[in-house]
A and B are shown apart, each in its own frame.
Chain A
Amino acid sequence: MMHFRNLKIEQIKTTWFKKSISILFVCIVFQNCAPTRFVKPLAKKENAIAANLGGPLIHFGKAVTPIPFTSIMYGRGLTNSTTAFGSVHLTALLFGNIQTDLGVCQQLYKNDSLKFGITINPAINMVYDKWNKNFRAWPQLDANVYKDILKQKAFVYVGLTNWFEFSSTRAHGEPQTNHALINPHVGMSYNTKKWGYTFECKFLQMNKKNVPNVVDYVGINQHGAVGVYLNFVRRF
């Protein structure tokens, strides 16, 4: 019997293995691929198209970069306080998945003298993959409080983006313990007569530990991921 005592061990810690394959699943966070669709509703019969870019920040090598999710959206003011919208997620489309979110922005409260308001965006997110014909749908509810600034040319807002998973099981019949993904966000929007430019920062999946995970998210206290988004809107 051999004895292997007093070993001299040289260990070179490597994280490359993990990081290299992290690329594989950087796109798995579909629910993080877009900013709040509408913080303020459009005027009645007003239309808008929007394009956005951005996603959760990840460590990539020595750099920090957002996953570049993109989507396009169309919205129409049904009334002065209700706007309907629908979107197509372009990044998902690249993978052969048709993803859309359909919903409405509803003004719940508005105070003209204090120049602030409260809105909610109930929506349904649907994804269909053409490869295995898998279909999934997740309800979403965004809630925002905004405050007009710069003589109403801009507004700042804070809110929550909430995704809900109603399935009681996950892969291989294991229990799904996480049923609500709560993402707080802050943002600022600057608007001209026809155009709107929005920057939003989200704290994604704040109730979920981000280690261990296949993706090296930039989170806070080992939870969630910080996401940044740019949104461009053209109204007509």
Chain B
Amino acid sequence: MKIIGIFIIALVLLSSCLRLDDNLYNVTDKIKEYKLDNYTGENDFVLDNSYFIHDSLIHLFDLSSRTPSESSSTTIKAIYIGSLSKIKTDTVIMYCHGNKWHMDFYWQRAKLLAHTAGKNHYGVLMIDYRGYGLSDGKATEEGLYADVDAALQWLKLNGLSDQRLVMYGFSMGTAPVCELTNKPISMTPAKFILEAPFASADVMANDGSGLNMPGSFFTNLKIDNAEEVKTISQPFCWIHGTNDNFLNIKTHGEVVYKNYNGSYKEAHRVDGADHGEIPLKMGFDNYLNTLSTFIRK
């Protein structure tokens, strides 16, 4: 028994703290400036000139963000598409991008959203989370939520009301949308849209192993959209590609959709679309019509 006891203590002491949390944040592509339409790097799709947004309606600015555990603020970058003076009256889509790189990569998506119900009919706000693009700091889960809330504070300061706020999350961006819709801090969105949502680290571990293996074996990430969505009541629009090779529609998206028990939900399963292909496979017209119909409902 003594030997077994020593062995167990040795194991605990030897066990190290390697976690895979940081690998969620893909910030490998470093940029020196935002190029937006002039960005020539990798993209899921590039819109043609009919989607051109005039420079006067593109506003790049800094925000200060602070997590509850931080003593000082972190400066993050934000882009607002639309007329600042209309925030007092317009509906605004808060777009939370995925885990990759920076806003240049997601610029085409944000620009497309700015055509929901017509060119610049709704305002669109997008941020680079801390550690992403030209935002300062290091990406963390707590930082994700604080950064998106900092963006919502800015919208509120500029006159946006809860009734005119729509939260839109893509992939990893669905985490701050679910978190801040379920546990609002600065603003409470009227509706929320999840494109290719992540269910939880447990689902990731289950899918990869084929066993009922908890995500905690690998990561301390607390992202759990599948549970979080259970207590959200606002109208919900879910869009997911049937051929999503990264976040399986059945094990991730369907579970999130099924767990939602709120006032209204609609599902759009996009035939043959992989993770980053939804707008393209739906067709931009169809994609925008789907969103505008949901927002206006």
Contact = CB atoms under 8 A, between A and B. Distances in A.
30 contacts: A7-B47, A8-B48, A9-B46, A9-B48, A10-B45, A14-B42, A17-B276, A20-B26, A21-B246, A23-B20, A28-B205, A28-B209, A29-B208, A29-B209, A30-B217, A31-B209, A95-B19, A98-B15, A127-B213, A129-B217, A130-B12, A132-B216, A134-B216, A136-B211, A171-B255, A172-B199, A172-B200, A176-B212, A212-B248, A213-B245
Given A20-B100, A171-B202, A212-B245, A31 B118 contact: no
A214 B47 CA distance: 29
Interface stretch (B55-63, B155-163, B218-226, B231-239): B218-226
A93 B11 CA distance: 8
Interface magnitude class on chain A: 35 or more
A153 interface: no
A124 interface: no
A134 B214 contact: yes
A86 B19 CA distance: 26
Interface stretch (B127-135, B179-187, B280-288): B280-288
Contacts of A129: 214, 216-217
Interface magnitude class on chain B: 35 or more
B212 A136 contact: yes
Interface of B: 8, 11-12, 14-20, 23-24, 26, 28, 42-48, 50-51, 98-100, 115, 118-119, 199-200, 202-220, 226-227, 243-246, 248, 251, 255, 259, 275-276, 280, 284-285, 288
B259 A171 contact: no
A172 B259 contact: yes
A106 interface: no
A12 interface: yes
Given A31-B209, A214-B246, A12 B44 contact: yes
Nearest to A17: B100
Contacts of B280: 9, 11
A97 B217 contact: yes
Interface in A149-169: 163, 165, 167, 169
B208 A215 contact: yes
B212 A181 contact: no
